[in-house]
Copies of this chain bind each other. A is one copy, B any other.
Amino acid sequence: DYTKLDKIIIGVCGGDGIGPAITGQAQRVLEYLLKKEVDSGKVEFRVIDGLTIERRAAEMAAIPPAVLNELKECHVILKGPTTTPRKGDEWPNVESANVAMRKELDLFANVRPVRIPEQGIDWTFFRENTEGAYAVGSKGVHVDENLGVDFTVVTTQGCERIIRAAFEFAKSNGKKRVTAVTKANIIKTTDGKFLDTFKEIGKEYPDIIADDWYIDIMTAKLVDEKRRRDFEVLVLPNLYGDILTDEAAEFQGGVGTAGSANLGKRYSMFEAIHGSAPRMVTEGRDIYADPCSVIRAGAMLLAHIGHNEEADKLYKALDICTITEKKLVITGRDTGATSAAFADYIMETIENMN
Contact = CB atoms under 8 A, between A and B. Distances in A.
A140 B84 CA distance: 29
B84 A185 contact: yes
A190 B148 contact: yes
B88 A196 contact: yes
Interface in A266-281: none
A149 B152 contact: yes
A223 interface: yes
Given A88-B199, A149-B152, A96 B186 contact: yes
A188 interface: yes
A219 B149 CA distance: 25
A251 B250 CA distance: 15
Nearest to A247: B219
A194 to B, nearest CB: 9
A-side interface size class: 35 or more
A179 B103 CA distance: 32
A148 B138 contact: no
A60 interface: no
Contacts of A217: 246, 255
Interface string A151-175: 1111111000000000000000000
Contacts of A151: 149-152
A46 interface: no
Interface stretch (A236-244, A286-294, A300-308): A236-244
A155 B148 CA distance: 6
Interface in A188-222: 188-193, 195-196, 199, 215-217, 219-222
A105 to B, nearest CB: 18
Contacts of A254: 220
A126 interface: no
A134 interface: yes
16 contacts: A86-B185, A96-B185, A137-B188, A140-B188, A140-B190, A146-B157, A148-B189, A149-B151, A150-B189, A152-B152, A215-B243, A216-B245, A217-B246, A219-B219, A220-B246, A243-B243
Interface of A: 84-88, 93, 96, 99, 133-134, 137-138, 140-142, 145-157, 183-193, 195-196, 199, 215-217, 219-224, 239, 242-247, 249-251, 254-255
